[in-house]
């Protein structure tokens, strides 16, 4: 019988970082993924400050800087009335919420095929065993306690593997969550987003661009630079909103590309693929993400930011918190839901205020007018652009964004 201290199902950002943290805690770990790396993952490919903070802690940032991709120095916000504000990222250092470290603010756009492969290989080096092409099909139980997994390997053989803790890092269709009875597709808390790679889009510099334009309301149109002159573009929207409006995301993306503000930039550009969609379970509600002998991480736990669609940062945060929990559970020899509950409460303590704020921002009815006001001001006024930069760095409270007085002040300043 093969036994480990910990089994990690899924080798994306959540699973690979969990393996790296597990190694630091001396846990004997098995990592499995149903795919073979390098593999693609539909994403905007943006790696933000909070993700970089974790990469710093894991000692990986220097190597990440050398991966093919684009360093990000600015964020461009575009308003519905087509004003843009370009905010430099380096005005404030980042106060990272989970590590407590203060670091220079930096970000990257790196295709997930490259980034995930890099992380997976790092994880492979430190795991006791690591299986690709291994699809997990079942959780193994002893009464109501998870004790392992069963899955099919490359040769089509069913194998059973055992550990007192299983981490579900297996993305939005999580088999671990399904088997544990925690999987729920609630359209209010799910989004869909499309990604399309292009070659030759004009004006690609070290900036990521978020355009809150009418063609893709109530989401945004992103244009991110990546390696080899490629651009990652896309849009996203809530499942509810799509149903309500009978929205066709592919047409909306096409309308954004051909709209007067963008058509010149795409005039000599070629799409490298058809737009591809993927689901995003967002953290607009607190879900149960633990039970007897298991924890859910990253997209399996539904931790994506409902406003920005960013999920890698919280996937990393969840990995850090889950491994701290797994190590403590090993110390006391108790893997019950009662003990593992601490994982959920500690993680939620760090990420809940940001997720709550993003949910509130996403729900603001008069969003277009407010965007015109904030982005318009930021484009002309360094103080306001500084303020937005400070919010991204956690140096200035973001809650101002949902305070009417903030907008009144902007109006009259």
Ligand X SMILES: Cc1cc2nc3c(=O)[nH]c(=O)nc-3n(C[C@H](O)[C@H](O)[C@H](O)COP(=O)(O)OP(=O)(O)OC[C@H]3O[C@@H](n4cnc5c(N)ncnc54)[C@H](O)[C@@H]3O)c2cc1C
Sign of the torsion formed by the C-alpha atoms of 192, 197, 198 and 204: positive
Question: Which of 114, 160, 130, 153 is CA-nearest to residue 2?
Answer: 160
Min dist. Cβ of residue 278 to ligand X (A): 3
Q: Please, which residue, 172 or 407, has the CB nearer to ligand X?
A: 172
**172-191: contacts with ligand X (CB under 6 A):** 175
Q: Considering only residues 6, 7, 9, 392, which one is a binding residue for ligand X as defined by CB under 6 A?
A: 9
Task: For residue 45, give both structure tokens.
Answer: 């490919």
Q: How far apart are CA 220 and CA 362, in angstroms?
A: 11
Q: How far apart are CA 343 and CA 395, in angstroms?
A: 26
CA-atom Rg of the chain in angstroms? 21
- Is residue 169 a contact residue for ligand X (CB under 6 A)? yes
Q: Considering only residues 8, 20, 31, 42, which one is a binding residue for ligand X as defined by CB under 6 A?
A: 42
Q: Considering only residues 4, 8, 10, 122, which one is a binding residue for ligand X as defined by CB under 6 A?
A: 10
- Is residue 136 a contact residue for ligand X (CB under 6 A)? yes
Q: How far apart are CA 341 and CA 325, in angstroms?
A: 9
Task: For residue 302, give both structure tokens.
Answer: 């539904």
DSSP reduced 3-state for 216: helix
Question: Which of 36, 30, 35, 37 is CA-nearest to residue 149?
Answer: 30
The pair phi, psi for residue 60, each rounded to 5°, is -110, -5
Contact between 71 and 206 (Cβ < 8 Å): yes
DSSP code per residue over 229-287 = GEEEEEEEEEHHHHHHHT--HHHHHHHHHHSTTTHHHHTT-EESS--EEEEEEBSSSPP
**Residue sitting closest to ligand X (CB):** 311
Q: How far apart are CA 290 and CA 335, in angstroms?
A: 10
Under rule CB under 6 A, how many of the chain's residues touch ligand X? 38
Min dist. Cβ of residue 174 to ligand X (A): 7
Binding segment for ligand X (CB under 6 A), chosen from 42-50, 153-161, 368-376, 397-405, is: 42-50
Min dist. Cβ of residue 109 to ligand X (A): 8
Task: For residue 180, give both structure tokens.
Answer: 């544990």
Min dist. Cβ of residue 154 to ligand X (A): 12
Q: Considering only residues 106, 215, 299, 344, which one is a binding residue for ligand X as defined by CB under 6 A?
A: 299
The pair phi, psi for residue 207, each rounded to 5°, is -130, 140
Q: How far apart are CA 305 and CA 363, in angstroms?
A: 13
The pair phi, psi for residue 139, each rounded to 5°, is -90, 145
Q: Considering only residues 171, 291, 302, 306, which one is a binding residue for ligand X as defined by CB under 6 A?
A: 171
Min dist. Cβ of residue 275 to ligand X (A): 9
- Is residue 281 a contact residue for ligand X (CB under 6 A)? no
Q: Please, which residue, 176 or 373, has the CB nearer to ligand X?
A: 176
- Is residue 30 a contact residue for ligand X (CB under 6 A)? no
Instruction: Give the H/E segment covering residue 316.
Output: helix 312-332
Q: Please, which residue, 33 or 209, has the CB nearer to ligand X?
A: 33
- Is residue 15 a contact residue for ligand X (CB under 6 A)? yes
Q: Please, which residue, 315 or 387, has the CB nearer to ligand X?
A: 315
**300-359: contacts with ligand X (CB under 6 A):** 300, 304, 309-313, 315
- Is residue 193 a contact residue for ligand X (CB under 6 A)? yes
Q: Please, which residue, 344 or 370, has the CB nearer to ligand X?
A: 344
- Is residue 283 a contact residue for ligand X (CB under 6 A)? no
Min dist. Cβ of residue 237 to ligand X (A): 11
Min dist. Cβ of residue 332 to ligand X (A): 27
Q: Which residues of this protein are in contact with ligand X, per CB under 6 A?
A: 9-15, 32-35, 41-46, 135-136, 169-171, 175, 193, 195, 234, 278, 280, 298-300, 304, 309-313, 315
């Amino acid at each position: 019988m093969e036994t480990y201290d910990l089994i990690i199902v899924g080798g994306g950002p959540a699973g690979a970082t969990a393996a790296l943290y597990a190694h630091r805690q001396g846990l004997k770990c098995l990592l499995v993924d149903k795919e073979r790396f390098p593999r693609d993952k539909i994403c905007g490919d943006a790696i933000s400050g909070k993700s970089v903070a974790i990469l710093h802690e894991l000692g990986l940032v220097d190597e990440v800087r050398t991966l093919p991709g684009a360093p990000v120095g600015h964020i461009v916000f575009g308003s519905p009335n087509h004003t843009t504000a370009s905010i430099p990222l380096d005005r404030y250092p980042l106060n990272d919420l989970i590590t407590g470290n203060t670091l220079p603010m930096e970000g990257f756009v790196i295709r997930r095929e490259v980034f995930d492969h890099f992380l997976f290989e790092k994880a492979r080096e430190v795991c006791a065993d690591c299986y690709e092409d291994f699809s997990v099909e079942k959780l193994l139980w002893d009464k109501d306690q998870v004790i392992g997994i069963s899955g099919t390997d490359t040769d089509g053989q069913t194998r059973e593997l055992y550990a007192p803790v299983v981490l579900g890092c297996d993305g939005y269709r999580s088999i671990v969550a399904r088997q544990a009875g925690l999987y729920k597709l609630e359209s209010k808390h799910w989004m869909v987003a499309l990604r399309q790679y292009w070659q030759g889009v004009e004006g690609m510099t070290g900036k990521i661009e978020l355009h809150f334009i009418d063609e893709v309301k109530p989401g945004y149109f992103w244009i991110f630079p990546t390696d080899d002159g490629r651009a990652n573009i896309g849009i996203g929207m809530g499942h509810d909103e799509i149903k309500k409006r009978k929205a066709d995301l592919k047409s909306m993306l096409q309308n954004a590309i051909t709209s007067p503000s963008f058509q010149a930039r795409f005039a000599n550009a070629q799409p490298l693929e058809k737009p591809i969609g993927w689901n995003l379970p967002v953290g607009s509600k607190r879900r149960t993400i633990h039970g007897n002998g298991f924890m859910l991480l990253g997209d399996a736990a539904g931790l994506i930011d409902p406003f920005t669609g960013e999920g890698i940062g919280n996937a990393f945060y969840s990995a850090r918190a889950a491994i701290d929990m797994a190590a403590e559970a090993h110390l006391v020899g108790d893997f019950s839901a009662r003990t593992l509950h601490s994982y959920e409460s500690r993680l939620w303590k760090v990420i809940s205020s940001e997720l709550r704020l993003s949910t509130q921002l996403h729900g603001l009815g008069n969003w277009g007018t407010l965007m015109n006001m904030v982005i318009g001001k930021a484009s002309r006024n360094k103080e306001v652009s500084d303020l937005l930069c400070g919010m991204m760095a956690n140096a200035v409270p973001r809650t101002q964004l949902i305070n009417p007085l903030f907008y009144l002040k902007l109006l009259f300043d």
